[in-house]
Amino acid sequence: MKRSLTMVLLMFALTGASTTLTIAQAPDNTPRISMTLEHGAHRIGKRIDSKMSRWRNYGFGQFIHWGLYAIPGGHWNGEYYGGAAEWIRSWKGMPNEDYDNLYTEFDPVDFDPKAWAEQAKDMGARYMIITTKHHDGFCLWPSEFTDYDVTNAPYGQDIIGPLVEAYDAEGIDVYLYFSVMDWNHPGYRSKLETAEDREAYEGFKEFTRNQLLELLERYPSTKGLWFDGTWDAAWKEQAEFADNLAMEMREMIPGLIIGSRFRPDDYGNRHFDSNGDLMGDYEQGWERKLPDTYEDTKGNDWDCVMTVPENQWGYHSDWRGHVKTSYELIEMLVKSVSLDGNFVMNFGPNGQGEIRKEERQLAKEIGEWMHKNQKAIYDCGYIDWEKQDWGYYTRNRESGEVYMIVFNKPINGALRIKTPAKINLDKIFDLNGPQKTYRPEEIHRNEYFIHLDEALLETPKVIVIQYSEATNQTKGYDKAKT
């Protein structure tokens, strides 16, 4: 959102900031009022390097939330916890000391990283985000900077390393989730009110930097960091620290991909700086929700991270309320890609290291669809053809081939296609049966029907459109005189 000049001047007045105002041209050449920010967005527009292009073309990813919270699985002392399982420590029914001692029980004897990676491959995931440390501060890797890690649990071994190795072996890129918020560290503060707070927080910042550099040193094949737990007031004051740390991490791994949840700007704004510009390589605000239109994405790269139940990231043994079906998740995946984003489906393994049967079944069903239709997902993105009720368009960024992904077959079987001017529809055929072609029936200028034969669709159907730029306009149509 671009702030009006009045708003910006008011912000100065209120904050007494010595920031200067500049009048610049926005990418769409509209004059825009922007503040000179030292730690705001350092780039306007998308990253165009090959590593970011690879990220942009993933389409589909897997999130894995795993940690001590998987042991209680949403229950304690026989009581059911209705919140997100990975937040059970915050529940009055779970004494902090009981939670903090769960590490003495962490021994996931069924943990099989190769099986997890194979399942992700079969499902069609092209990247995976693993919680190295969630808000509780328990580290799934041997950290030099804390004893609260996996080596001091009965399991005693690194979890992250074997996962990175197994997923790399399957050709699935690994991203490391890291929660800045750390309930276990004595120096963590949600806000800085006293001199003691500030002194303690300086130690916490150094600890955070040490752990992040340690992760990148231990797992250099990681392609990026997925930050979380950065909404507290204390962190919002750390614009310079976070900016310098991001630069330091990218010196370690050039091209490291970091989303919009990491840095606050000079005024504590996150995701978008005080000028409304995206901070980070992609927007990380789409959590358990999707944009409705391309305009909602502001033309940025973005990912949507999605739980299977309404709000369970970590393992909860008793999923209540609506549990999404594979078709719901496939539609979210397709919609994400149709709006130039990536869709990341969450898995929450249990305390023994098993992936629950519901998630295995979903992975199987989604994988069956992806196996046949991945061409409409991988390396694809948005095309500005008018959205129709039958489903979504995606477009391969290389070949330009367009895919109609049909979820809702009209009663009359007629799928409407409306293109921008001067587009010729050259060839239309089933992705999974190219011998089945469609002759577009022109019903108005740049508007057509293609007619489906099927009585009903068993699964979301993909139809391929090969098109070209027309040299002349289609035949004239009389405009209504109203």
Q: Minimum CB separation from ligand FHN for residue 178, in Å?
A: 11
Element (H, E) at 35: strand 31-35
Q: Minimum CB separation from ligand FHN for residue 54, in Å?
A: 22
Q: Give Cα separations from 335 to 56, 121, 123 (angstroms).
A: 15, 21, 18
Number of amino acids touching ligand FHN (CB under 6 A): 7
The only residue of 41, 52, 84, 376 in contact with ligand FHN, by rule CB under 6 A:
84
* Positive or negative: CA dihedral 227, 233, 236, 237: negative
Q: Minimum CB separation from ligand FHN for residue 310, in Å?
A: 13
Q: Minimum CB separation from ligand FHN for residue 229, in Å?
A: 7
- Backbone phi and psi for residue 443, each to the nearest 5 degrees, phi listed first: -110, -15
Distance CA 261, CA 226 (A): 8
Distance CA 141, CA 130 (A): 11
Distance CA 259, CA 476 (A): 48
Beta bridge partners of 33: 23
Question: Which C-beta is closer to ligand FHN: that of 130 or that of 423?
Answer: 130
Q: Minimum CB separation from ligand FHN for residue 71, in Å?
A: 16
Site track 258-287 with ligand FHN (rule: CB under 6 A), x = hit: -----------------------------x
The only residue of 127, 241, 272, 313 in contact with ligand FHN, by rule CB under 6 A:
313
- Helices 160-169 and 195-218: crossing angle in degrees, nearest 10, is 40
Beta bridge partners of 347: 64
Instruction: Work out whether strand 302-306 and strand 283-287 pair parallel, antiparallel, or are unpaired.
Output: parallel
The encoded tokens of residue 330 equal: 């496939």
The only residue of 305, 306, 308, 428 in contact with ligand FHN, by rule CB under 6 A:
305
Q: Which residue has the tokens 């606050």?
A: 264
- Backbone phi and psi for residue 461, each to the nearest 5 degrees, phi listed first: -100, 140
The encoded tokens of residue 316 equal: 């909860």
Using the contact rule CB under 6 A, the part of the chain among 80-88, 232-240, 323-331, 333-341 near ligand FHN is 80-88
Question: Which C-beta is closer to ligand FHN: that of 85 or that of 377?
Answer: 85
Q: Minimum CB separation from ligand FHN for residue 295, in Å?
A: 24
Looking only at residues 376 through 405 of this chain, which bind ligand FHN when binding is defined by CB under 6 A? none
Question: Which C-beta is closer to ligand FHN: that of 86 or that of 173?
Answer: 86
Question: Which C-beta is closer to ligand FHN: that of 111 or that of 177?
Answer: 177
Instruction: Work out whether strand 224-228 and strand 257-258 pair parallel, antiparallel, or are unpaired.
Output: parallel
Report the amino acid identity of residue 389: D
In the complex, which residue's CB is closest to ligand FHN?
Answer: 313
Instruction: Work out whether strand 79-80 and strand 31-35 pair parallel, antiparallel, or are unpaired.
Output: unpaired
Question: Which C-beta is closer to ligand FHN: that of 276 or that of 285?
Answer: 285
Question: Which C-beta is closer to ligand FHN: that of 89 or that of 395?
Answer: 89
Question: Which C-beta is closer to ligand FHN: that of 287 or that of 368?
Answer: 287
- By CB under 6 A, tell whether 354 contacts ligand FHN: no
Q: Measured in whole angstroms, how far is the alpha carbon of residue 109 from the centre of its chain?
A: 30
Site track 222-241 with ligand FHN (rule: CB under 6 A), x = hit: ------x-------------
Q: Which residue has the tokens 């399991």?
A: 155
Distance CA 169, CA 158 (A): 17
Element (H, E) at 331: helix 326-338
Q: Minimum CB separation from ligand FHN for residue 134, in Å?
A: 6
The only residue of 35, 71, 86, 278 in contact with ligand FHN, by rule CB under 6 A:
86
Q: Minimum CB separation from ligand FHN for residue 222, in Å?
A: 18
Q: Minimum CB separation from ligand FHN for residue 143, in Å?
A: 19
User: SS3 for 361?
Assistant: helix
Beta bridge partners of 130: 64, 176
Question: Which C-beta is closer to ligand FHN: that of 35 or that of 88?
Answer: 88
Contacting positions for ligand FHN (CB under 6 A): 84, 86-87, 228, 287, 305, 313
